[in-house]
Structure 1
Amino acid sequence: MAENDINYSEDSIRSLDWKEHIRLRPGMYIGKLGDGSAYDDGIYVLLKEIIDNSIDEFVMGAGRTIEVNLNDHKVAVRDYGRGIPLGKVIDCVSKINTGGKYDSKAFQKSVGLNGVGTKAVNALSTAFTVQSYRDGRTKIAEFAKGELVREEAEKETTQRNGTAINFMPDDSIFRHYRFIPEFVENMIWNYVYLNSGLTINFNGQKYFSEKGLHDLLMRHADTETMRYPIIHLKGNDIEIAMTHGQQYGEEYYSFVNGQHTTQGGTHQAAFREAVVKTLREFYDKDFDASDIRASIIGAIAIKVQEPVFESQTKTKLGSQNVGPEGPSVRAFINDFVKKDLDDYLHKNPATADAIKARILQSERERKDIAGIKKLANERAKKASLHNRKLRDCKLHLDDTHERRQDTTLFITEGDSASGSITKSRDVMTQAVFSLKGKPLNCFGLTKKVVYENEEFNLLQHALNIEDGLDGLRYNNIVIATDADVDGMHIRLLMMTFFLQFFPDLVKAGHVYILQTPLFRVRNKKETIYCYSDEERRNAIAKLGNKPEITRFKGLGEISPEEFGLFIGKDIRLDPVILKDANIKGLLEYFMGKNTPTRQQHIVQNLRVEKDDETVNPVVLDDAEIKEVA
């Protein structure tokens, strides 16, 4: 008998309490851990779990305002609902399967039905405080990593009813984390779009929406390129909004019971199918589905009883029915779209004509590049057998492996940088695509260039995004260029490529910039890598006695052994966040033919960095470069 069999006994079996299990397997409860550089990292799930409880109070008619305040590391949420019953304050945040949502009559269409969310926040925070205000009395309790550290007796208060929760995520679990305000702002906007009458005050700014999903599309769509006014339809437990633009690809925002299902699911698939079916019947023509959906931007929100999601983080709906005895999600959405969208088009012939014109334009564009596309795809298929530009990894996003979310494609400049990354990467999840010099500035060009330009075509095939994001092979697309003027220019050219032809890739949060250290500061005992002048100064102060300082001028200078430190668990990524829906205007300014205007902008934003006795070369501020995103 093997030795490990002999050691397997009663002593090998142990039971974990709730907080131990959450801390041992946090991914089961909140998905990705991450450092906050991705919109779906765990720290945002923690915040959402707390706000969801306040939203449920609003839905029940208790409290029309929620206060949310945060900085890089701390969060405070205060609602004005009914307040947790004072005798159950501790139980509600520290006992699994304890909560007020098991009464299906009270919370029939709530998302957080499992009684785990707030407990997970508690267990995964170094500091967690809950205070309930109820009928003139209040109670407060403080926790650390799920352990109760202080409890105050009930006392009188003049505060309005409600609940206040403050927490600080545990930096031993979320390494080097920080909250990015833009991601939180998107979350806040989605809450108010889906809850008419709700006001959320976020870091002193008021968020409110009158027209729901119509307002959502107005914020995300480029109004200058809309082909027709937004179609906005509402029914019992369903709301949709849609329009067509000029951008490539499709873009959808889908919600279930207020939950943003970023990975779609049965409701989003049904919506896409229903739009195609309805428009084919309305025009009495069998248009190609891709021509109907090309450049569409749509949103759908439904409410279902006892929703089934494909993970604890609830980013993809798996429910087939809208309730235990209700119709299928597919039939429910199809019936609504078929009737209400068809009625709308009959009443608004100008919109109907605009949609048909957009479909016919997509059809012409598709046929126009069909020949080029066929030749390019054949060429790419041959190249994939011995593609020197791509060093692939073993796992991909469309696999079922638990590490699929870690899959990353590094886009590098030149052979030296790609060589360093290739030698130090994790071959299971990290792939490398090497550019040959500066790519083409594709602003203003049609999608023909994606097939005519061999480098762009091979990149498109490496990512598998020709027909949309459904087949995307890597969760993270990381632009890894030198921190010099040429490197910044390549960043801009690559972001132009993605924003011009695959904007949904950026909007879905898949594109990042790799941050690599600018300096290495070391003495005989310790080495510190610094990503900014401030970090360099702090390192010098810490090591003292004139340590050795090395300035990294390019990625190729960094040895593979060192590079492994910068693309592993401590990788630093800056997400490319699209703040402005007017992509055409952004690209036209930064990448168009308005050279004198840009030259003036550069001159006005020159920065000279002085380092003691030396003056570094003048470079364009990285923050200015990022304005394109």
Structure 2
Amino acid sequence: MTESDNILQPTTENYQEEHIVTLEWQEHIRRRPGMYIGKLGDGSSPDDGIYVLLKEVLDNSIDEYMMGFGKTIEVKVEGTTVSVRDFGRGIPLGKVKDVSSRMNTGAKYDSKAFKKSVGLNGVGIKAVNALSSRFFIESYRDRQAKNVLYRQGVVVEESDIIPSSQANGTWVEFTPDSEIFGDYHYRDEYIDPLLKNYVFLNTGLTIVFNGRKFYSKNGLEDLLNENLTSEALYPIIHLQGEDIEVAITHTNQYGEEYYSFVNGQHTTQGGTHLSAFREASARTIKEYFNRNFDYADIRNGMVAAISIKVEEPVFESQTKTKLGSKDMSPDGVSISKYIGDFLKKELDNYLHKNPGTSDILQKKILESEKERKAIAGVTKLARERAKKANLHNKKLRDCRIHYNDTKGDDRDETCIFITEGDSASGSITKSRDPNLQAVFSLRGKPLNCFGLTKKIVYENEEFNLLQAALNIEEGMEGLRYNKVIIATDADTDGMHIRLLLLTFFLQFFPDLIKKNHVYILQTPLFRVRNKKKTVYCYTEEERLAAIKELGPNPEITRFKGLGEISPDEFRHFIGKDMRLERVTMRKEDLLKELLEFYMGKNTPERQNFIIDNLTVDVEA
């Protein structure tokens, strides 16, 4: 036997008894947090893990309310510590420790106690416990109480059952562990929408957050009014059934916009219930008018919300953003039939009883149909062009994993950088992660599309290829990248390109921005270094701090454009420490007026605004 033969022989030396490891429950969660809460993050994005921890605790309190116990929930965030106090039934005192630290323990396996709950696998509260540097839980029940204190999921103190004057309910206080989440902070701007959605879905519930009250009287109708950024063409249609609630209107914006929920859980990626709603609502409207309307024309401009309650729901991930269930309950009717039957009866009745609304709706559909037919020829040619370009799209350097893939833990990390010019595209392309990061290169400044119809999206090659790259022509469900990142220079031309791209998205795909998919890449303005250390600075304040830190006469470089940053350096700015600024829309940002002001014809008002708000970056 030769030496090479010996090398190829199988061996068991590196696979012995000592290699078999059994982890404690909290160790497994801490080693694999993504399995339980999705991404980590530092609190700068609404889907970061620290908000998932808050939601997991809140879900238990909401489930109590849904079962008819406790009309108020108190939430406090002080620095990095969060507390949630509900006034439900309280955890049975003998099970406080088990419920908070024993995997697969909970009441929600018993459908009599929690018929239509969000959390069904008994994991959520344990994940919060394991991922917190300090976790305290106390239950109040029939004038008695019991509490347990944990650190990183390990019990450090446990009380006996003691007398209490507190009203029934549960109090949870936790501090997310900086060993897991790093230097994080909570932002009210991301907590507020979360709490608002809870009260919209649970009329009569009051949530008090740091002294501020959230309450809704009209449910999903209030939710739509809160989120509309274009004027509704007719009063919101608000329909309710035993396990279903919907709200529907149309606006003059392009595309469709939906908010979907299951058992109070915001299913941001939709699922079987949203697909059924889109199909059934369009079919019901088509049958009501008894016209051969195209579904796309019926749904164009639709803004709607749907909430259903399902027994034992099946979600496609632990973070519950997409419903996979096909039935309302294990032995019940299908979700598709349930939603279809409800809309066939209630929406059809509403339209018959409200001819003013149905007349406005029909006019909107006819306008959408007219525009679609007017651009049909252009659309067909553009699609063929885009299909050919996709085979060898010089503008797109694609990645391997996509947001609309059916499987993959990394889908949320997918992004596409929209850059200007070859030099910037080259630096990003050489620095990027080819598995998760794509690059789309613009040629100069895109067209100002304000006031133009969607025909321009197909006539303009750049817009058409960008639409095809994102895969959003038919709606957000096919979106290929979770983050659409505008990466332009921080000079006047770069700012103008940003504004032109944002105008394109706001005009034709506003849901892309509303659903938190559009970001601006922040790149450093300065590099300050000496022989021992290099510091990249994003602001003048950071530059002055770096000079102070590095001592006398450091080398200072001012980056005038992305193309000046070498690929080796760029790798730092689009990796795990990438700084992104999310583009947001608020209720008060009425779309038509916003675009008219910034992108319409020059007006004295806009000129004065620019002069008053102009800031000059002076290099010291």
What range is the shorter-chain TM-score in? over 0.9
Deviations 1:22-79 (A, max 9, x none): 1122121112233334433322211110111111222233321112233674422222
Report if aligned partners of 1:65, 1:79 keep a CA contact under 8 Å in 2: yes
Cα separation, partners in 2 of 1:4 and 1:133, compared to 1, 3 Å: farther
Matching of residue 476 in structure 1 with residue 476 in structure 2: no
Cα separation, partners in 2 of 1:385 and 1:277, compared to 1, 3 Å: closer
Cα separation, partners in 2 of 1:483 and 1:203, compared to 1, 3 Å: farther
Q: CA deviation at 1:269?
A: 0.9
Cα separation, partners in 2 of 1:118 and 1:605, compared to 1, 3 Å: same
Q: Which residue of 2 aligns with 1:93?
A: 100
Report if aligned partners of 1:86, 1:138 keep a CA contact under 8 Å in 2: yes
Equivalence map 1:34-433=2 (5 Å): 34-70=41-77, 73-151=80-158, 158-222=165-229, 224=231, 226-399=232-405, 400-433=407-440
Q: CA deviation at 1:152?
A: 5.2
Q: Which residue of 1 aligns with 2:592?
A: 584
**In structure 2, distance between residues paired with 1:469 and 1:295:** 14
Gaps of 5+ in 2: 1-7
Cα separation, partners in 2 of 1:131 and 1:604, compared to 1, 3 Å: farther
Q: Which residue of 1 aligns with 2:24?
A: 17
Q: CA deviation at 1:263?
A: 1.1
Report if aligned partners of 1:608, 1:616 keep a CA contact under 8 Å in 2: no
Q: Which residue of 2 aligns with 1:624?
A: none
Query: Which is worse superposed, 349-358 or 88-97?
Result: 88-97
**In structure 2, distance between residues paired with 1:92 and 1:58:** 19
Q: What SS class does the counterpart of residue 403 from structure 2 fall into?
A: coil
**In structure 2, distance between residues paired with 1:174 and 1:375:** 49
Equivalence map 1:460-499=2 (5 Å): 460-499=467-506
Among 593, 605, 610, the residue aligned to 2:601: 593
Deviations 1:105-155 (A, max 9, x none): 110111112111011011112232323344445444332321233445665
Report if aligned partners of 1:128, 1:166 keep a CA contact under 8 Å in 2: yes
**In structure 1, distance between residues paired with 2:614 and 2:96:** 55
**In structure 1, distance between residues paired with 2:165 and 2:536:** 52
Cα separation, partners in 2 of 1:481 and 1:142, compared to 1, 3 Å: farther
Report if aligned partners of 2:230, 2:592 keep a CA contact under 8 Å in 1: no
Q: CA deviation at 1:471?
A: 1.9
Q: Which residue of 2 aligns with 1:625?
A: none
Cα separation, partners in 2 of 1:91 and 1:403, compared to 1, 3 Å: same
Deviations 1:148-195 (A, max 9, x none): 334456655554433222223233433454334322221111100111
Q: Which residue of 1 aligns with 2:577?
A: 570
Identity of aligned residues (%): 64
Cα separation, partners in 2 of 1:492 and 1:166, compared to 1, 3 Å: farther
**In structure 2, distance between residues paired with 1:72 and 1:483:** 32
Query: Which is worse superposed, 54-63 or 447-456?
Result: 54-63
**In structure 2, distance between residues paired with 1:2 and 1:595:** 80
In angstroms, what is the RMSD of aligned CA positions?
2.2
Q: CA deviation at 1:232?
A: 0.6
**In structure 2, distance between residues paired with 1:54 and 1:538:** 45
**In structure 1, distance between residues paired with 2:291 and 2:94:** 64
Q: What SS class does the counterpart of residue 366 from structure 2 fall into?
A: helix
**In structure 1, distance between residues paired with 2:92 and 2:547:** 53
**In structure 1, distance between residues paired with 2:144 and 2:616:** 58
For 2:417, the aligned partner's letter is: F
Deviations 1:259-315 (A, max 9, x none): 111111111111111112212221112211111111111111111111111111111
**In structure 2, distance between residues paired with 1:394 and 1:100:** 42
Cα separation, partners in 2 of 1:479 and 1:4, compared to 1, 3 Å: farther
Equivalence map 1:541-556=2 (5 Å): 541-556=548-563
For 1:81, the aligned partner's letter is: G
For 1:350, the aligned partner's letter is: G
**In structure 2, distance between residues paired with 1:139 and 1:529:** 51
Cα separation, partners in 2 of 1:48 and 1:591, compared to 1, 3 Å: same
Cα separation, partners in 2 of 1:180 and 1:499, compared to 1, 3 Å: farther
**In structure 1, distance between residues paired with 2:145 and 2:610:** 57
Q: TM-score, normalised by structure 1?
A: 0.92
Query: Which is worse superposed, 235-244 or 58-67?
Result: 58-67
**In structure 1, distance between residues paired with 2:481 and 2:360:** 36
Report if aligned partners of 1:91, 1:98 keep a CA contact under 8 Å in 2: yes
**In structure 1, distance between residues paired with 2:353 and 2:476:** 34
Q: CA deviation at 1:209?
A: 0.6
Q: Which residue of 2 aligns with 1:536?
A: 543
Query: Which is worse superposed, 308-317 or 164-173?
Result: 164-173
**In structure 2, distance between residues paired with 1:588 and 1:154:** 64
Q: What SS class does the counterpart of residue 210 from structure 1 fall into?
A: coil
Cα separation, partners in 2 of 1:19 and 1:582, compared to 1, 3 Å: same
Gaps of 5+ in 1: 610-614, 618-629
Deviations 1:215-260 (A, max 9, x none): 1111112452x22111111111111110111111111111111111
**In structure 1, distance between residues paired with 2:40 and 2:216:** 31
Report if aligned partners of 1:22, 1:124 keep a CA contact under 8 Å in 2: yes
Q: What SS class does the counterpart of residue 173 from structure 1 fall into?
A: helix
Cα separation, partners in 2 of 1:152 and 1:527, compared to 1, 3 Å: farther
Report if aligned partners of 2:73, 2:85 keep a CA contact under 8 Å in 1: yes
**In structure 2, distance between residues paired with 1:92 and 1:543:** 51
Q: What SS class does the counterpart of residue 68 from structure 1 fall into?
A: strand
Equivalence map 1:441-456=2 (5 Å): 441-456=448-463
Q: Which residue of 1 aligns with 2:4?
A: none
